[in-house]
Amino acid sequence: MEETISLKEIFATLRKHVLLIVTITLLGVMISAGVTFFLMTPKYDASTQILVNQANANSNSLYQQANTVQTNVQLVNTYSVIINNPAVLNQVIKKLNLNLTTDELKNMLTVSTAQNSQVFTLTAETDSPAQSVRIVNGVAAAFKSQVQKVMNVDNVSILSPANVASSLEPVKPKATINLAIAFVVSLMVSVGLAFLLEYMDNTIKTEEDIEKILDLPVLGFISEIKDGREPSNGKSRSTAHTAGRHQLRGAGHVETK
């Protein structure tokens, strides 16, 4: 027999386990808040924009200008790789006296480019706003110097150096997102657990349960009768029952031959 569940039964299950759902959801949000605000280390980033532009881009020919712009766009992808080169990073580590390896410094840097743009953005992410600013500006300066030496061109300009004032807000962790995710996940887990408990509960509570399980109509039922009377001789109920059992056993012994 195919089982179906109605919308009324769904709401009844949720109402029945509402305390469980609220408790698990609040517990999940509280754990997420504790981890976010007390265990996770805040991260701060600083960014600078670098422009790639040929020095002879002032040609009168539109065709030559278009070719120059296209060349600069292609150089952006090349420079995005050069900026993470150990030759550039080691220069930054030595100049800023950083206690880092080239791989550790590389993991702090992010290079992002826009399609068909001569500008790319260099971002550094550390535990301190001031440290992020020092690193990103140091890498940009070292990269500009290294490009002039290696490629013998002067087509790199730093448009906007990073500053501490724009890096005071932490970028990680994002408390709002973490709490929202914890709320949704905890709510889903608690609702799923409520339906699981309801599914595993196979006890018979109503006449409808009997009809559903046995597929038979209920002809009648006997109400529960509670007797609140105490024995007249003042003895407890358990004592009276025990005495009655002794009398029955004694009578049986007399009748046995």
Q: Which has the higher per-residue pLDDT, 170 or 70?
A: 170
Highest mean pLDDT among 45-59, 83-97, 156-170: 83-97
Candidate from 14-18, 65-69, 85-89 with smallest mean pLDDT: 65-69
Question: What is the distance between the alpha carbons of residues 188 and 190, in angstroms, rounded to a whole number?
Answer: 6
Those residues with Cβ within 8 angstroms of residue 84's Cβ, 6 or more apart along the chain or in another chain: 106, 109, 111
221: number of CA atoms within 13 Å, CB side? Answer: 11
Question: What one-character-per-residue DSSP string does 158-183 give?
Answer: EEE---GGGG-S--BS-HHHHHHHHH
Type of residue at 72: N
Q: Is the pLDDT of residue 55 over 60?
A: no
Question: Looking at the chain, how many residues does it have?
Answer: 257
Percentage of the chain exceeding pLDDT 90:
42
Structure tokens at 61: 């020919």
For strand 109-113 and strand 119-126, is the pairing parallel, antiparallel, or unpaired?
Answer: antiparallel
Per the listing, tokens 């971002």 go with 123
Supply the pTM of this predicted model: 0.64
What is the model's pLDDT at position 17? Answer: 93
What is the model's pLDDT at position 71? Answer: 65
What is the model's pLDDT at position 227? Answer: 61
Question: What is the distance between the alpha carbons of residues 20 and 216, in angstroms, rounded to a whole number?
Answer: 34
Q: Is the pLDDT of residue 248 over 60?
A: no
Percentage of the chain exceeding pLDDT 70:
75
In Å, how far are 19, 46, 107, 108 from 123, measured between CA atoms? 47, 6, 11, 8
Q: Which has the higher per-residue pLDDT, 100 or 57?
A: 100
Instruction: Tell me the mean pLDDT in the region 93-120.
Output: 88
Question: What is the distance between the alpha carbons of residues 111 and 122, in angstroms, rounded to a whole number?
Answer: 5
Candidate from 77-81, 121-125, 203-207 with smallest mean pLDDT: 203-207
Q: Is the pLDDT of residue 61 over 60?
A: no
Question: What is the distance between the alpha carbons of residues 53 and 47, in angstroms, rounded to a whole number?
Answer: 20
Domain limits, CATH 3.30.70, in the chain: 41-54+71-172
Whether the upstream peptide bond of residue 173 has omega within 30° of 0, thus cis, is: yes
- pLDDT digit string, tens, across residues 210-233: 777 777 777 776 666 666 555 555
Q: Which has the higher per-residue pLDDT, 173 or 252?
A: 173
Candidate from 60-74, 123-137, 153-167 with smallest mean pLDDT: 60-74
Q: What is the mean pLDDT of the chain?
A: 79
Question: What is the distance between the alpha carbons of residues 105 and 87, in angstroms, rounded to a whole number?
Answer: 12
Candidate from 5-9, 24-28, 75-79, 156-160 with smallest mean pLDDT: 75-79
CATH architecture observed for domain 41-54+71-172: 2-Layer Sandwich (3.30)
Q: Is the pLDDT of residue 240 over 60?
A: no
What is the model's pLDDT at position 65? Answer: 52
